[in-house]
């Protein structure tokens, strides 16, 4: 075997080390777009003088037309707003938000970077106008997107020790998702659903897993530097469990011939949210199908650099993605 000179070997190693290890670590510095500003409807609304409600709302209307676009002279509408503002629970949530989030500069910076990545992949896309508001504990939809507007319910991100969550009996697995670290991933998750709402090719477990995996890969592309557990919404223990047991879960799916199952029970086991997956372990996470689908999609994209993000999101053939991914997780030593 011909020896490689030491100097040449060092150069090769350096070049290999400088090569792209992750195709999602892209340079977005040339992408031109204004910084994201989060309009603080939550703060401005709860600061108004409620004794002069209509006039105070009229003053806010130009900036917050999305919320206040209706006829403010309507007594029914005013009564609804009065009830909302005088609800003790909403008042407590708003006060906690004002204390925890006196400004949103860090979140604005992170969102700006996320949308800069979005413009990198979708140059002609429109960037939404972003508002923060008090949702009243809308835990199922902490972030919403509608009509080019993104709404962030900051009262859903007050941390697991917030007493209001205890009063609402929010389960432990949901408390894990109430930290500020989840805000931007949640924004990108919702945005993925509305950016490329491609239909499923079928209703098998594989279809569901790959579709969920595509959404998580979209989040990867928008915020590649954030820990994976925040993207998928797992606690540190859950993340460690699925990372170590990925091959075991995949083997169970294959050996029990569930990959192409369409039954509700099978779909529920792997796709439904909850504290854990009872069929596996009390410390296992729920939604393990999302994780498996994510790993399939990541392998597929790593093996096929010619496939763009837009093409991936538009691809409806889940079997094609699985086959070309050559996905075969290896068992890890515990």
pLDDT for position 102: 97
pLDDT tens per residue, range 32-56: 999 999 999 999 999 999 889 999 9
Same domain, 42 and 167: yes
Runs of H (alpha helix) within 122-182? 163-167, 172-175
Please write the tens of the pLDDT for every residue from 223-241.
Answer: 998 999 999 999 999 999 9
Of the candidates 264, 169, 268, 185, which has an alpha carbon nearest to the alpha carbon of residue 232? 185
305 shares its domain with 222: yes
Same domain, 66 and 89: yes
Question: Do 183 and 101 reside in the same domain of the chain?
Answer: yes
CA-wise closest residue to 286 among 276, 298, 296, 299: 276
End-of-domain residue from the set 195, 219, 237: 195
The reply to whether 255 falls in a domain is yes
Inter-residue contact 157 to 178 (CB < 8 Å): yes
Instruction: Using the structure block, give the residue that is written with the tokens 């972030």.
Output: 143
- Residues 138-191: tens digit of each pLDDT: 999 999 998 789 999 999 999 999 999 999 999 999 999 999 999 999 999 998
Q: What is the DSSP letter of 182?
A: G
Residue 14 lies in a domain: no
Pair 169, 251 in one domain:
no
Over range 47-72, report the average pLDDT.
92
- Let me know whether 210 and 188 are in one domain: no
Q: Give the C-alpha separation, 317 to 329, whole Å.
A: 21
The tokens of 276 are what? 């854990």
Q: Is 7 contained in some domain? A: no
Query: What mean pLDDT is predicted for residues 92-101?
Result: 97
Q: Among 195, 229, 258, which residue terminates a domain?
A: 195
Residues 188, 304 within the same domain: no
With 80 as the cut, is the pLDDT of residue 4 above it? no
* Domain interval for residue 162: 38-195
Percent of the chain exceeding pLDDT 70 equals 92
In a domain, 9, yes or no: no
pLDDT of residue 198: 67
Looking at per-residue pLDDT, the higher value among 195 and 303 belongs to 303
Residue 10 lies in a domain: no
Chain segment 12-32, per-residue pLDDT in tens: 333 334 434 578 999 999 999
Residue 108 belongs to some domain of the structure? yes
The total number of structural domains in the chain stands at: 2
- Structure confidence at residue 323 (pLDDT): 97
Inside any domain, residue 46: yes
Final residue before a domain boundary, out of 195, 225, 254: 195
Q: Is 137 left (phi over 0), alpha (psi -120 to 50) or beta?
A: left
- pLDDT in the model for residue 3: 47
For 240-251, what is each residue's pLDDT tens digit? 999 999 999 999
Instruction: Give the C-alpha separation, 290 to 203, whole Å.
Output: 15
Residues 171 and 78 in one domain: yes
CA angle 185, 188, 193 (to 5 degrees): 130
| pLDDT value, residue 193 | 83
């Amino acid at each position: 075997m011909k020896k490689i000179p030491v100097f040449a070997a060092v150069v090769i190693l350096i070049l290999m080390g400088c090569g792209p290890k992750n195709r999602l670590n892209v340079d977005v510095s040339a992408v031109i777009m204004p910084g994201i500003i989060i309009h603080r409807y939550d703060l401005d609304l709860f600061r108004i003088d409620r004794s002069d409600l209509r006039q105070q709302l009229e003053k806010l209307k130009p900036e917050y037309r999305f919320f206040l676009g209706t006829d403010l002279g309507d007594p029914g509408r005013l009564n609804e707003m009065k009830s909302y503002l005088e609800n003790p629970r909403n008042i407590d949530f708003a006060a906690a938000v004002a204390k925890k989030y006196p400004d949103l500069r860090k979140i604005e910076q992170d969102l700006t970077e996320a949308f800069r990545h979005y413009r990198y992949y979708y140059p002609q896309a429109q960037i939404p106008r972003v508002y923060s508001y008090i949702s009243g504990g809308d835990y199922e939809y902490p972030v919403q997107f509608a009509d080019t507007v993104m709404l962030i319910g900051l009262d859903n991100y007050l941390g697991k020790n917030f007493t209001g969550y205890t009063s609402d009996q929010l389960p432990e697995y949901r408390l894990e998702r109430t930290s500020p670290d989840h805000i931007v991933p949640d924004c990108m998750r919702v945005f993925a659903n509305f950016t490329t709402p491609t239909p499923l090719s079928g209703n098998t477990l594989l279809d569901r897993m790959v579709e969920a995996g595509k959404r998580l890969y979209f989040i990867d592309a928008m915020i590649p530097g954030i820990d994976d557990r925040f993207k998928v919404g797992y606690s540190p223990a859950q993340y460690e469990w699925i990372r170590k047991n990925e091959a075991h879960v995949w083997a169970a799916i294959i050996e029990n011939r569930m990959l192409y199952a369409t039954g509700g029970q099978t779909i529920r086991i792997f796709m439904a949210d909850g504290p854990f997956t009872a069929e596996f372990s009390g410390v296992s996470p729920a939604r393990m199908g999302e994780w498996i689908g994510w790993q399939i999609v990541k392998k597929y994209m790593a093996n096929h650099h010619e496939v763009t993000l837009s093409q991936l999101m538009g691809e409806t053939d889940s079997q094609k993605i699985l086959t070309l991914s050559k996905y075969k997780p290896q068992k890890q030593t515990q």
